[in-house]
A = this chain, B = another copy of it.
């Protein structure tokens, strides 16, 4: 079983500002090099190296060496979900303490960003809303599903979902967006949607940030397929 000691060990790893910044940066699902992570954490490479060793040894991240670089990424979706859950609680005390400082970079993140494997931010929420409005999905606080109609809708767009044999509905996971405080779609469906949007050139990952840029093509696609217009 999971002893409280192990519990504390994991939480403690996430509890250091530098490591927290690293985990946050890795939440876009990409693999980052040690120096990149050192930068986002605002520490020297030596220190970062130590932190990364700890995270790796605990199994929170995976390291993949490629030439003289070593790329680090989150180990699995469970870790991502943990980070998500902590962020959820952390955002609860945010507004209560500081009146929310919204810089321009912050604004980009609010508009659209990746959340490990799916689209979050205003775009993510808007897409989820659109699917619900069109009768393609149902979302509640506890869960979400894609209706048969929605399944056809998505597959018509080239997004194929592997349906479990017994069920006619495809269940998916709602993820309470910490900036919008409304649910977006995560899990298998969210991943597929995000992948497809990237592959189609609707959105593009920014270089040093979790922010997503919506391309001109994407603007049109989201409006046409989903009726989504941001701002």
Contacts and interface: CB of A to CB of B under 8 A. Distances in A.
Interface stretch (A90-98, A148-156, A218-226): A90-98
Interface stretch (A65-73, A163-171, A199-207): A163-171
| Residue among A83, A86, A96, A167 with max Cβ neighbours from chain B (10 Å) | A86
A173 B143 contact: yes
A100 interface: yes
Contacts of A5: 17, 20
B13 A15 contact: yes
A230 interface: no
A187 B144 CA distance: 13
Contacts of A88: 78, 81-82
A122 to B, nearest CB: 13
A89 B60 contact: yes
A130 interface: no
A8 B4 contact: no
Size category of the binding interface on chain A = 35 or more
A120 B86 CA distance: 22
A10 interface: yes
A87 B7 contact: yes
A47 interface: no
Given A169-B145, A172-B142, A93 B1 contact: no
A86 B11 contact: yes
A24 to B, nearest CB: 5
A91 B145 contact: no
A189 B78 contact: no
A1 B89 contact: no
Nearest to A174: B143
A21 interface: yes
Nearest to A189: B142
